[in-house]
Amino acid sequence: MLDQVNGLPVHVLVLHAAVIFVPLLALGAIVYGFVAAWRPKIGWAVALLAVVAPIAALITKLSGTEFYNRLLSEGRVSPPGKVILDNHMEYGTITLFLALALGVLSLILVVLTARNPRALPKIADLAFAVVLLVLGGVSVWYLYQTGDSGANAVWGSY
């Protein structure tokens, strides 16, 4: 099911969703964490992104695994290419887990502050914000590394 659509690998079709939604979640979560006054306005968007971004990353990861397995079974990967793809797969796995962690943490903060944007003690609020900042930054960095290694696997060194 996650292998091909009309002869095209599903992976190349769905990866763009992760490329869009993971950074949007990171940005939204960071703003939500640091700017309590904006929480009532953006809470619904952060909550939606907290669900959609990890799902997009999961579908991208699963379809990438299907694509990888098909390429290997057809013998279309050279030994150096396999090393590049293995690296890409590792980055993708890390990106998935980071997006999931960022989504869960964002949802927790939205739920805790939905009725009162300043419901948490200041130290807890700051701790959430800092963790979201770090997790968002690391998520985007790994997303970049995943995409760069995937592009390198397809197009070679540039």
Q: What is the pLDDT of residues 69-115, one digit of tens each?
A: 999 999 999 999 999 999 999 999 999 999 999 999 999 999 999 99
User: Is residue 136 a contact partner of residue 25, using CB atoms and an 8 Å limit?
Assistant: yes
**Could you say which DSSP state residue 118 is in?**
T
> What is the amino acid identity at position 152?
N
How many residues belong to the chain? 158
| Token pair recorded at residue 17 | 């969703």
* Banded model confidence at residue 158, pLDDT cuts 50, 70, 90: very low
* Banded model confidence at residue 157, pLDDT cuts 50, 70, 90: low
pLDDT above 70 for 65 = yes
Separation of alpha carbons 11 and 131, rounded Å? 30
Phi, psi of 9 (to 5 degrees): -65, 130
Residue where the block lists tokens 């130290």: 123
Rounded to an integer, the average pLDDT of 16-34 is: 98
Q: How far is CA 124 from CA 112, 121, 146, in A?
A: 11, 5, 32
Rg (CA), the chain: 18
